[in-house]
C-alpha cells in the first residue's frame, strides 16, 4: 500500500469513527500561493483536532453544493492528515513541492490521491480546500484561492464567498502572499476577513520565485486581561468618581 492509499484509508477510518471535528468554511484560510515552487500555505483559525483530514484540488468546480456539483478532471487532488498532535489556532502550515514525489507538509502527512497535470499555473489556476468522503468527493468546502478570479470555476452553492472564505489574488501571480497583521485581533476567527482581503496581499507576476519561502509566522490574538486587572480598573474608576464628586461639593 503506497502513501496515497494509506492516506485515503486512514481518512476513511477517521470519518467513519467520528473522530474528526467538523471544520466549517473560514476555519482555515490560505496565506500563500507559489506557482513556481508549486506550493502553498494556510493558517488554522480554530484548533484542528488530531488526525483531521483536509483535501485539496486544483481542478475547476462546476458550481453547486458538494452533493450536486463536481470537479472537472485533468488536474490533481491531494489529502492532508494533520497528525497525532492538535494544531493550535494561529498555526501556519506550509505545503511544499506538491508536484513532486518529495511533496511535504510542515505538519502531518500529505499525499497525492488523484493525479493529473502536475503543478500550479499562474494564469487561471484555483485551489480548493474541502472535507471529503472516502472517495475524495467534497462534503464541505472550507477555503479557496485563485490566481485569476476563479476563472473556469463557479463558487455558487459552495458556501464560499470571496472576501470571507476565499481569496482571488492578483491575476497572473506567480507568487502571492498575505502581508497583513498577524497579531492584535481579539479572536482568531476575526483574521478571516483580513486574510481573504486582496488589499492585504502582495502579488508578484514576473520573476522566478521557486526558492522563495512563504511567511510561516504564527498568528496571535490580544491577551485577555486577568481578573485582577479588571478589579484594579474598577477601583481606579471609583476613585476618580469619588474625587470628581468631592470637587463638585
Q: How far apart are CA 42 and CA 33, in angstroms?
A: 9
pLDDT confidence tier of residue 225, bands split at 50, 70 and 90: low
Q: Nearest to residue 13, comparing CAs of 81, 67, 76?
A: 81
> How remote is the C-alpha of 227 from its chain's centroid?
34
Interacting residues of 172 by C-beta distance below 8 A, sequence separation 6+: 122, 123, 147, 148, 205
Interacting residues of 8 by C-beta distance below 8 A, sequence separation 6+: 79, 113, 134, 136
Answer yes or no: are the C-beta atoms of 97 and 226 closer than 8 Å.
no
What value does the mean pLDDT take over residues 197-208?
A: 92
Cβ count within 10 A of residue 114: 18
Which pLDDT does position 26 carry in this prediction? Answer: 94
Answer yes or no: are the C-beta atoms of 3 and 111 closer than 8 Å.
yes
pLDDT confidence tier of residue 143, bands split at 50, 70 and 90: very high
Answer yes or no: are the C-beta atoms of 213 and 241 closer than 8 Å.
no
Residues 100-132 pLDDT 10s? 999 999 999 999 999 888 777 656 689 999 999
Nearest 5 degrees, angle CA 106-CA 112-CA 118? 100
Q: How far apart are CA 140 and CA 159, in angstroms?
A: 8
Which pLDDT does position 170 carry in this prediction? Answer: 83
Which pLDDT does position 125 carry in this prediction? Answer: 83
The more confidently predicted of residues 16 and 240 is: 240
Answer yes or no: are the C-beta atoms of 85 and 66 closer than 8 Å.
no
Q: Exposed, middle or buried, 224 (CB in 10 Å: 0-12/13-18/19+)?
A: exposed
Residues 67-102 pLDDT 10s? 999 999 889 999 999 999 999 999 999 999 999 999
pTM: 0.83
Confidence check: pLDDT of 171 > 90: no
The domain spans of the chain are 3-224
Residues 29-72 pLDDT 10s? 999 999 999 999 999 999 999 999 999 999 999 999 999 999 99
Which pLDDT does position 150 carry in this prediction? Answer: 92
Confidence check: pLDDT of 16 > 50: no
Which pLDDT does position 14 carry in this prediction? Answer: 45
Amino acid at each position: 500500500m503506497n502513501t496515497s492509499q494509506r492516506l485515503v484509508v486512514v481518512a476513511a477510518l477517521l470519518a467513519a469513527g467520528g473522530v474528526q471535528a467538523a471544520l466549517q468554511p473560514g476555519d482555515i484560510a490560505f496565506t500563500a500561493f507559489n506557482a513556481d515552487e508549486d506550493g502553498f500555505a494556510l493558517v488554522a483559525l480554530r484548533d484542528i483536532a488530531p488526525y483531521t483530514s483536509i483535501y485539496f484540488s486544483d481542478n475547476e468546480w462546476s458550481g453547486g453544493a458538494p452533493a450536486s456539483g463536481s470537479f472537472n478532471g485533468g488536474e490533481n487532488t491531494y489529502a492532508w492528515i494533520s497528525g497525532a498532535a492538535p494544531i493550535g489556532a494561529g498555526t501556519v502550515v506550509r505545503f511544499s513541492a506538491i508536484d513532486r514525489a518529495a511533496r511535504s507538509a510542515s505538519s502531518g502527512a500529505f499525499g497525492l490521491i488523484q493525479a493529473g497535470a502536475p503543478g500550479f499555473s499562474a494564469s487561471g489556476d484555483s485551489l480548493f480546500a474541502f472535507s471529503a468522503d472516502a472517495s475524495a468527493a467534497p462534503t464541505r468546502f472550507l477555503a479557496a484561492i485563485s490566481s485569476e478570479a476563479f476563472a473556469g470555476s463557479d463558487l455558487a452553492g459552495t458556501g464560499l464567498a470571496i472576501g470571507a472564505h476565499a481569496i482571488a489574488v492578483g491575476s497572473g501571480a506567480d507568487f502571492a502572499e498575505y502581508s497583513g497583521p498577524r497579531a492584535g485581533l481579539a479572536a482568531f476567527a476575526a483574521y478571516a476577513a483580513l486574510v481573504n482581503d486582496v488589499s492585504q496581499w502582495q502579488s508578484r507576476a514576473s520573476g522566478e520565485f521557486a526558492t522563495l519561502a512563504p511567511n510561516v509566522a504564527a498568528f496571535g490574538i490580544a491577551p485577555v486581561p486577568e481578573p485582577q486587572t479588571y478589579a484594579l480598573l474598577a477601583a481606579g474608576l471609583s476613585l476618580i468618581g469619588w474625587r470628581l464628586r468631592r470637587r463638585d461639593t
